[in-house]
Amino acid sequence: KCIFCTNPYMTRKIKRFDYVKLVDVIKESYECGAREIGFYTTGEPFVYKGIEDIIKKSKEIGYEYTYISTNGALATPSRAKKVIESGIDSIKFSINAFDKENYKLVHGQDDFELVLNNLKYISNYRKINKKSFRLFVSSVVTNITEKEIKSFKKLMKNLVDEVQFNAVTVQGGYMNKAYDLLKVSKTGLKVLDQNFNKTKESEVCMVPFNRLHVTCEGYLTACCVDYQNYLTVADLNSV
């Protein structure tokens, strides 16, 4: 069991976005002025078997920047190659623990070596084939992992363009119990602040003002961590 899953914060049914409707949403968003499109938030993009086709279609429509955020377990060489060749502009791995033991504790799966090997493959593929897409790693830091930041940065050196560390939060209010259990120490927060991380509790989230989030059900929601669709503002299936 994943240590972040102290609360059952996502109970809605698993679903795949209808391809035709998805393309319509992508086109309409472009017509409304969107020029960047990302595949991430409350789902795993590599679960969608035709994700490379969606990326290619987005580039054909005219999007200037396409990106993926993945936990990396399904970003195997065969899948990753298709995504890269589809024209993706950046790939971000979410790695929230820095060794095999803690990875299983935090993620709930013993995939640390698998994820690391997938990341290394993508990094090497980019170098060998002289691809220009960007490669990033982000990590939600907890009191379990905060002391391992330096060693992880060393591990990531020469593999990715940037590693971003973010202190664990309540994830839109869904994970209060988990936050109380895992929150970063004051010393850890100071280290994160030195690593360009924003940890001020009073800071206003700007995401609702500069992005659109469309769920697999076809709902327009105001938040990237709206696990239960509580912040749905429109049903795009009816427009």
Average of pLDDT values for 148-166? 92
Whether residue 125 contacts residue 81, with contact meaning beta carbons closer than 8 Å, is answered with yes
d(C-alpha 136, C-alpha 178), whole Å: 26
Q: What is the pLDDT of residue 134?
A: 98
Whether residue 226 contacts residue 43, with contact meaning beta carbons closer than 8 Å, is answered with no
pLDDT, one tens digit per residue, over 37-67 is: 999 877 899 999 899 999 999 999 999 999 9
Q: What is the pLDDT of residue 41?
A: 73
Structure tokens at 50: 């035709």
pLDDT, one tens digit per residue, over 3-24 is: 444 445 578 888 888 899 999 9
pLDDT, one tens digit per residue, over 22-34 is: 999 999 999 999 9
Q: What is the pLDDT of residue 2?
A: 47
Q: Which of 125, 17, 1, 32 is nearest to 75 (CA)?
A: 125
Whether residue 100 contacts residue 113, with contact meaning beta carbons closer than 8 Å, is answered with yes
pTM over 0.95: no
DSSP one-letter code for 184: P
Pairing between strand 90-94 and 65-70?
A: parallel
